Amino acid sequence: MLHKVKEVVVMYKALMIEDHKEVRDFVKEYFDHKEIEVIEAQNGYEGLAILDDTIDIILLDIMMPGIDGYEVCKQIRSQYNTLIVFISALSEDENQLKAYEYGADDYITKPFKPSLLYAKCLALLKRNKKIKTNQLQSGKVILDLDKHILVIEENNIVLTDKEFKLIRYLMENQGIVLSREKILDALWGYDYYGDGRAVDTYIKRLRKRLGKYSYYIQTIVKTGYVWKGEEL
């Protein structure tokens, strides 16, 4: 009698930064055919080169050649809010406290059971997904879709209705050049008889709101604007 094999849809992507291949293989083998796909990096430099917005969680060793896990975590936190779980043979409280100070979300000591690691990762990912359901994030900028506020480095910036609609439209179309006419149609409607200067005015206001991240919105000469987000 043939049994139908249940297909598991990969929901998340994990980046494992670990210099010992046997540990990477140990984790990857257990995670295989489950909800979390594992991408491997054998050191901190390689991990930082691979990291992008598609990575949902990072499994990070501490003692690695070239650059240790603490420094990797520090560099990641300067650009991303990606979940980070430290996996280390260092079991002392001071090591764990240091990891949390650098921005860790969890800490597991070696040796460990892959089932426990998987369960912790999945719980963190699902909880994080619920929190972010009503948010848009690009680099250091978070747009709260419920409260109509920008969150930049833990600072809440209240937006007017038109500012909120404009920045949401830009962020949802990241990387796409939007003409002034298209923005006018989307936000002001087809019955609006003004000109593109209204768009320019609101773009100027949004750039002021964004502060040092104003470069996320780039001007395309004689055309319109594009939300570029973080340049990596």
d(CA 125, CA 112): 19
Is 7 within a domain? no
pLDDT, residue 198, reads: 85
* 127 and 150 fall within a common domain: no
What's the pTM? Answer: 0.57
* 67 and 101 fall within a common domain: yes
Residue with tokens 């439209």: 169
Is 3 within a domain? no
Cβ burial of 73 (10 Å; 0-12, 13-18, 19+) is: buried
pLDDT, residue 194, reads: 58
Is 1 within a domain? no
d(CA 210, CA 196): 21
Tally the C-alpha atoms within 13 A of residue 118's C-alpha that lie toward its C-beta.
16
Is 4 within a domain? no
* 122 and 139 fall within a common domain: no
Domain count, the chain: 2
* 126 and 183 fall within a common domain: no
* 111 and 149 fall within a common domain: no
Mean pLDDT by 10 residues, the chain (232 residues): 47 93 94 91 96 91 95 91 93 93 94 94 83 76 87 88 94 92 82 70 95 94 89 46
* 102 and 167 fall within a common domain: no
* 127 and 139 fall within a common domain: no
Instruction: Please identify, among 72, 107, 131, the residue that sits at the C-terminal boundary of a domain.
Output: 131
* 108 and 144 fall within a common domain: no
The residue range of the domain holding 152 is 135-227
CATH number at residue 48: 3.40.50.2300
pLDDT, residue 1, reads: 44
Is 214 within a domain? yes
* 161 and 196 fall within a common domain: yes
Is 70 within a domain? yes
* 61 and 113 fall within a common domain: yes
Instruction: Please identify, among 109, 131, 153, the residue that sits at the C-terminal boundary of a domain.
Output: 131
CATH number at residue 161: 1.10.10.10
* 34 and 139 fall within a common domain: no
Instruction: Please identify, among 80, 101, 131, the residue that sits at the C-terminal boundary of a domain.
Output: 131
* 145 and 221 fall within a common domain: yes
